[in-house]
Amino acid sequence: MFLSFVVFAILWMPVTVQSVKKRSFLAKPSWDDRISNIEFVAEHQAPSRCTCAAMCDINCGCFGFNSLVEKCRIHRSCDLVNMTSTENGWRYYLINPPPDCQGVMKSGETTSGLYVIDPLGGRQRLVTVYCDMEIDNGGWTKYEDFSIGDESTNYTLHLGGPNTGNLGDSIINPGLSDANLNGMSFSTVDRDNDRWNSGNCAALYKGGWWFNEFHFAFLNGPWPPENWTIPWYPTILSVSNITEVRMMIKPA
Ligand SMILES: [Ca+2]
């Protein structure tokens, strides 16, 4: 997985997850006057196609709008091949989600929230993710050239480039070489891949992470956080007022 950069963020303010935002839709004129053979889950009166689209929520995979009778049919899914039933006036629309949050932003969305994306394309696997459009509350640090090795490397962390933000760098140049996490393998409670010869940092600190012999950054501590040690030294010394941490990636 090679990506442009990663943002490590620690938030102090509670974040309210909002409802899923609107998605884009792909019209299928070749299906005109045909209806889905898969039964619809709801039918509403709708004065316009846009009203109908707004009714297509997270559980909606496609919808049909009939401009003649101003009706809207919501389907969980539609069989693309077998649109054999006919009924005048219907046009069907397939959800056409962007591949990532950057695509969501390019589609005109400007507020943070949950969005449906299609990372593999072709609607193979739709996922709902939180897209941050602001990064304004809390603290954050951005690293360039983020990548993670494959399983054979124990998911080695690679970060590069100058960091920006207001949290400072606690990963690449933490001021103690044994706490440099760049190039470290990922350790878990049952997989000791750290450089501490006498024990397993993931077991001691109660969370999977890219540990060296020591760490000055650790965003995956136990919750509630009484036993969470050194989340982001020296900027964040106390875990008691942390409400959330995030790692966010953005493609080139
Ligand atoms: Ca060890």
pLDDT at 216: 94
Q: What is the pLDDT of residues 228-251, one digit of tens each?
A: 999 999 888 888 878 888 888 877
Q: Give distance in angstroms: CA of 213 to centre of ligand 1.
A: 7
The residue type found at 109 is E
Q: Give distance in angstroms: CA of 148 to centre of ligand 1.
A: 20
**Locate tokens 């997270």: which residue?**
58
For residue 32, give Cα distances in angstroms to 38, 43, 62, 95, 97: 16, 18, 14, 16, 22
Residue numbers of the chain with a pLDDT score lower than 50? 1-2, 13-22
Q: Give distance in angstroms: CA of 156 to centre of ligand 1.
A: 15
* SS3 state at 98: coil
DSSP assignment, residue 41?
Answer: S
Q: Give distance in angstroms: CA of 205 to centre of ligand 1.
A: 12
Q: Give distance in angstroms: CA of 169 to centre of ligand 1.
A: 24
Q: Give distance in angstroms: CA of 163 to centre of ligand 1.
A: 28
Q: Give distance in angstroms: CA of 159 to centre of ligand 1.
A: 22
The residue type found at 61 is G
Q: Give distance in angstroms: CA of 6 to centre of ligand 1.
A: 26
Q: Is the Cα torsion angle 46, 52, 56, 62 positive or negative in sign?
A: positive
Structure token pair of residue 87: 């009924």
Structure token pair of residue 134: 């602001």
Q: What are the residue ranges of helices labelled H in 94-159?
A: 101-106
Structure token pair of residue 30: 């070749």
E strands, 149-206, are 157-165
Q: Give distance in angstroms: CA of 151 to centre of ligand 1.
A: 18
Q: Which residues are bridge partners to 127 per DSSP?
A: 117
Q: Give distance in angstroms: CA of 197 to centre of ligand 1.
A: 5
Tell me whether residue 139 is exposed, middle or buried, using C-beta atoms within 10 angstroms of its C-beta: 0 to 12, 13 to 18, 19 or more: middle
Q: What is the pLDDT of residues 191-211, one digit of tens each?
A: 999 999 999 999 999 999 999
Q: Give distance in angstroms: CA of 208 to centre of ligand 1.
A: 13
pLDDT at 21: 46
Q: Give distance in angstroms: CA of 150 to centre of ligand 1.
A: 20
| Measured distance CA(72)–CA(177) in Å, rounded | 62
- What are residue 101's phi and psi, to 5 degrees? -65, -30
CB contact at 8 A, 132 and 100: no
Q: Give distance in angstroms: CA of 200 to centre of ligand 1.
A: 4
DSSP assignment, residue 59?
Answer: T
* SS3 state at 58: coil
For residues 143-179, one letter each, b for 16 or more C-beta atoms within 10 angstroms of the residue's C-beta and e for the rest, the string is: beebebeeeeebbbbebeeebebebbbbbbebeeeeb
pLDDT at 18: 35
pTM exceeding 0.95: no
Q: Give distance in angstroms: CA of 190 to centre of ligand 1.
A: 11
